Structure 1
């Protein structure tokens, strides 16, 4: 278990080898400011959920929204894999990064968390001012009538209708909650219990647009903040770059914490090439008021 950051000594830089100058600089530019946080898949790797583009991540061709709509076979394949992926999402626990950001929000340092993740771990860790840009896997929506369902209830129906669907010994899961499956033609796809329509997890598929009101909510948090912290995102997805650009145009200091190169590195005030949990633990120890 990762300790509360309030119990971490301020001089703990050995946990992020070679990054002490960057940590000091990041703490300097964020100190006393209201910080908006943008997170990506890298913040959930310590919870056992893989990254999209990190070291060792397999090449994937995620299902597009058009494919999902066009073919019953595609929907069978998606729901079979998504059901197995959901089991692993549901079993995952928030890690140190999620808890630290919730603590920073409680302390008034963080104005809100904007996440590209769909795993729901920020909410479970206690983040309250949260925008899930790409939706959340814990909800399911009917594309015909708009009725919303808890994912847990849909999962129960899937398990009852597909008793032969068993979890493979080794499921290769993706950050979007999907999992690789080899057989799905016999899979029974759940239908809306209200109108019989097509059900879809309440997440943004490739080829879909982020809802306008959702992006506006994220933009409002950026506008109300004095600095931006980007954690665990390579910023390949356009939504993240657009928010970074909003912060840059307002001349906000921007700190990026991510393993490897990101598309925003040249626009960052400080870039720390390291994992998010150990880095944010130390950074938060510098930003949070220390007990007397």
Structure 2
């Protein structure tokens, strides 16, 4: 067992149950690209803003055209060894609630039961007019049928179901809500939007009732995750960070492990 693994194991045993906060770095081993480099900077253009999605039809067409290629990567991804290790630790009582910034659902597929999807779940759709929910696969297949020429394009997958395509998107046909014809949106929190208050309250309560915080695979550059490091620090709860590169909470951490996640967890 490596020294870093021993350090983390000791932390978990001394502070169980620990609340875990996970980010995109946990799912890269499942083939899902992450947002930021080791310095916390964007690797590509920042993701879609909620306001742009709702008010700009051309940007919405661009989003769905690129999603034809990017989303299947997310949908078909499988839990990796780190997801499975965390599910096992949860069953053993070392960790309690898993708060995840990821929208891929891989914690649940790995067998974890107490999971808060802080930013939602990308495989479900919600109508912004009538509120009807539906499977994203259904919309994906409708968009494929409506836009075969876009489906044939080559593309490189980007984070959270996006892909690297630049072309004329004006002819793309978006599949709207079958119930009312309204705008369909993945049931996730976009940049510029806010996490539902009840979800934040649930996550804060879970952390308050645990003995510490373990951050895995997140730079914490987004406040929606960073707030939990601030909460733990304010309440004098120990904070461990396992991720590559710098994070926004490095100065708050009890200790930090800058190493490959799987090599430490598994």
The aligned counterpart of 1:43 is 26
Distance 1:25 1:71 in 2: 49
The aligned counterpart of 1:178 is 162
Return 5+ residue gaps in structure 2 as ranges: none
Distance change in 2, residues 1:94/1:168 (3 Å): farther
Q: Do 2:37 and 2:43's aligned partners in 1 also have CA atoms closer than 8 Å?
A: no
Give how far 1:59 is off: 2.8
Give how far 1:263 is off: 1.0
Give how far 1:30 is off: 2.2
Q: Which digits, 9 at most, give the CA deviation of each residue in 1:179-206, with x for residues without a partner? A: 1222322111111111110110111111
Aligned length: 262
Q: Which digits, 9 at most, give the CA deviation of each residue in 1:234-291, with x for residues without a partner? A: 110101111111111221111100111111111111100011111112xxxxxxxxxx
Distance 2:153 2:81 in 1: 29
Give how far 1:157 is off: 1.2
Aligned pairs for 1:240-251 (under 5 A) are 240-251=225-236
1:121 aligns with 2:106: yes
TM-score by length of 2: 0.93
Return 5+ residue gaps in structure 1 as ranges: 1-11, 14-19, 282-292
TM-score by length of 1: 0.85
What do you get for the CA RMSD once the two structures are aligned? 1.6
1:198 aligns with 2:183: yes
Q: What SS does the aligned partner of 1:31 have?
A: helix
The aligned counterpart of 2:144 is 159
The aligned counterpart of 2:198 is 213
Distance change in 2, residues 1:30/1:81 (3 Å): same
Q: Do 2:73 and 2:157's aligned partners in 1 also have CA atoms closer than 8 Å?
A: no
The aligned counterpart of 1:229 is 214
The aligned counterpart of 1:29 is 11
Q: Do 1:139 and 1:149's aligned partners in 2 also have CA atoms closer than 8 Å?
A: yes
Deviates more, 1:179-188 or 1:212-221: 179-188
Give how far 1:25 is off: 3.2
Aligned pairs for 1:1-292 (under 5 A) are 12-13=1-2, 20=3, 22-32=4-14, 33-55=16-38, 58-166=43-151, 168-174=153-159, 176-183=160-167, 184-281=169-266
